[in-house]
Structure 1
């Protein structure tokens, strides 16, 4: 997917932009970074200003082309004002973390001003114990989880004393785009893409014909497999798997959980799995318990899981994921068996043939009515994301970071759970649609019980070595 910077969005990024025609499908990410003390405000503002020059998208707005001739483009905001994006407030009484989560919740539910760059950062001081928090609001088209962590890393230090960052880069000039320039740019973009596709088609045609000549039956099977994969990815679905988490609205509830990363790793190793397998097994187990609390049994649930399209050599910070729909056996009561089943399902998803044509699928969806896109996403039961974070304690503008929680968008699902690892702890942000789950405290209790069940495997089980 496109890294922002004076270019046209790829269709995959444009998909997250256009689907917001339905407010329930907003792609707003909110993160809460907990700090052990109040950071130096001037130092923080200088760091943010520097980052906005190092990463152009933080000074860019999205400009839509006339008549949808092509995808939207990133353009430098001629009226960029850092002070509009960077704010400072004091936590009201009772000065607890719950107050900060309330501020983050309101921010998550509020739409972006689409005439400005798509981010906001608020420092909240006055928290009990002398702590503070940063509430970051970011549109998903700017960065995925890995990209967001790389953006943050630009500002971090390994010691309390801030580093000397040297001379500040000059700020980019803003762009004033009139209708003629927008049309000309859009036409040029379409022509360039058409030429590229024609060239790629010619490059691929001869090898494809040769493969077909050598193995016509295999090629037919491959085409059929691709068609089935695309259908699994993009076909509309008519109902949720959950019999109770069916309603959708615009009100959200945010919650946090913490789990030891080492304990989760040990639990996963008991079945030869990964941290992601243990995490998904805990979330699905919590949802199974939640349904049982409501005297309902479930066999399976539908989940959307981000799949990274990054290569090992990719060091960029933009948005490079695609969303994959999976059906998981949430009703399996045995946690070890559930982890094994989830490992198989997620590994299969990472090999879906349609991953290679993600941008083509997104381009087609961009041309369809919002109601169709809603049908693709709105009957998802939950989303789950796992973001590798920073393995050691770090500092920001002189303040030690004590926790990092990301709250991904629900985009039509009942809830989104996002795991970010930091300094040996898994910080899990939970974003709940309260129309689907009107008793979030009950769900959170069920999730805690399920995580305890999973982590107990690593304590009591025999962990393979070697």
Structure 2
């Protein structure tokens, strides 16, 4: 499970927020932003939080107004350069309007969590307005005095999963009561900068930094030459190139014939278990929590294909790998990715965990694992139509993408409402199914985003995924929560 130390809440500490402070997108982030030109490759990331009560709307709005003041990035839009001569920059939107970004929707009673989830999936599937900061929040209400759902949606170029958790940890309170003494500041001044201004800014900054870079290069030159001519360095370079070829090659198995369809729609569903139960299952199979998690997903895929009379042996799968360290600044994107053929036809869950562990350990030790970041400068300069067509040709061959990371381990609140669950949902950049796991207060919250054109029997698919999770958990002597969990029972009973 991806892990990084989470910051203290700014609501309590009263500290300025140094999250997302880079002015210019990295080459990698610029590529993600420009992929938005192809509707198939949109990359919104979302968190669906289950609240124990419906917060007061005025307090809810005030909390977001405060957040956009202490977190300047929340008021920034993306300004791209002409002809992509430079990378997009973040600039404070001179026309920032909180009411555009923070909305509410009241469902007719009796409302269910599944209905709220359908509202969320529709909002997340909508494209961002490129002229505004790329985020949106929605409060879904429905029961008098009952629970509510809070959706936070951002563009992936803004941050990755761990960076998003850092942001939520900063902005969520650690107590239910209002804190009238929290740190306050004026909103950042608007920046009416255009494409040419963004380019000029980068050229000026680059010219200022050029002497420093030249001196640093000159000082490194003797050591670099010595290393380059050493036999060990040549051997390492060969290993790296072989690793790069392995990482760039598509998985060795064909896509599932059942999951060929693609659309621009999303379908959300959720599963959950406890962190301890999934850890015990992983240990029983000789692996980790992550190995047990992936094994559970593959067990669900096997059942779904067998139920529809189309058994398969492997599925092409991708998994992001966090490249973050404790010394990295908060926010931004620091991950790489790996693709591989994932075993589906191993019926014994312990054997499946062992097989997954061997594959993932091999991937994590690839010398060229960070190649995605290294190749980003070249990729970001490829004409957008050519790059999107190539990327789509690769991503549509994937049946499953799966990610997981550590969430917030302590109770947190928004506008006086306690967050009971925090379900993460990743984008579908051409693949059939994206599954993301984030822990929250000891619970593994699993968000499933499936393309309905690929997964044509969604109820059966969710049933199979639940069975796959149960099967793995039984290795550790437990099962996933059955039927409705406590928060979901409260939701249903209140309606």
Quick check: TM above 0.5? yes
SS in 2 for 1:453: helix
Which consecutive residues of structure 2, in runs of 5 or more, have no partner in the other structure?
Answer: 1-17, 480-495
What residue number does 1:89 align with? 105
Quick one: which of 412, 436, 441 aligns to 1:423? 441
Deviation at 1:173, TM superposition (A): 0.8
Q: Which moved more, 1:233-242 or 1:336-345?
A: 233-242
Of 402, 409, 424 in structure 1, the residue corresponding to residue 420 of structure 2 is: 402
The answer for the alignment partner of 1:297 in structure 2 is 311
Q: What secondary structure does 2:25 align onto?
A: coil
Shift in alpha-carbon separation, 1:460–1:377, aligned structure 2, 3 A: closer
The one-character-per-residue Cα deviations of 1:116-159 (angstroms, maximum 9, x if unpaired) are 00001111112377111111111111122122122112233333
1:12 and 1:192 mapped to 2: Cα distance? 23
- CA deviation map 1:418-461 (0-9, x unaligned): 11111221111100001111111111111111111100000189
**Number of equivalenced pairs:** 458
Which of 347, 350, 372 is equivalent to 2:361?
A: 347
State the match for 1:444 in structure 2: 462
Q: Give, in whole Å, the separation in 2 of the partners of 1:3 and 1:353.
A: 30
Deviations 1:164-183 (A, max 9, x none): 44341111111112454234
SS in 2 for 1:255: strand
* Contact 2:86–2:199 (CA under 8 A) maintained in structure 1: no
Specify the alignment match of 1:153 in structure 2. Answer: 169
Give the corresponding residue for 1:333.
Answer: 347
Residue of structure 1 in register with 2:406 after alignment: 388
Cα deviation for residue 251 of structure 1 reads 1.7
Output the aligned Cα RMSD: 2.5
Larger deviation, residues 236-245 vs 120-129: 236-245
Instruction: Identify the match of residue 377 of structure 1 among 386, 395, 398.
Output: 395
Distance in 2 of aligned mates of 1:311 and 1:377? 28
Match of 2:52 among 13, 36, 54: 36
Q: Tell me, in whole angstroms, the C-alpha distance in 2 between the residues paired with 1:432 and 1:20.
A: 19
Equivalent position SS for 2:188: coil
After TM superposition, the structure 1 stretch with the greater mean CA deviation from structure 2, 451-460 or 223-232, is 223-232
**2:220, 2:285 → 1: CA distance?**
42
Q: Does 1:113 align with 2:135?
A: no
- TM-score when normalising by structure 1: 0.91
Task: Give the C-alpha shift of residue 238 in structure 1.
Answer: 10
SS at 1:354's partner residue?
A: coil
**1:351 Cα shift?**
2.5
Secondary structure of 2:94's aligned partner: coil
1:433 aligned to which of 451, 461, 469: 451
Contact 2:20–2:330 (Cα < 8 Å) also in 1:
no
SS in 2 for 1:160: coil
Q: Secondary structure at the match of 1:154?
A: helix
Q: For the residues of structure 2 that align with 1:15 and 1:213, how far apart are their CA atoms?
A: 34
Q: Is the 8 A contact 2:251 2:339 kept in 1?
A: no
1:185 aligns with 2:201: yes
The structural deviation recorded for 1:373 is 1.8
Question: Are the structure 2 counterparts of residues 267 and 183 from structure 1 closer, same or farther at C-alpha, using a change threshold of 3 Å?
Answer: closer
Counterpart for residue 256 of structure 1: 270
Which has the larger displacement, 445-454 or 353-362? 353-362
| Unaligned 5+ runs, structure 1 | 462-466
TM-score under structure 2 length normalisation? 0.86
* 94-103 or 322-331: bigger deviation: 322-331
| Distance (whole Å) between structure 2 residues aligned to residue 308 and residue 173 of structure 1 | 34
Q: Deviations over 1:86-123 (max 9, x none)?
A: 11221234411111111111112110000000001111
For residue 311 of structure 1, give the secondary structure of its aligned residue in structure 2: coil
Is 447-456 or 196-205 further displaced after alignment? 196-205
Match of 1:319 among 321, 329, 333: 333
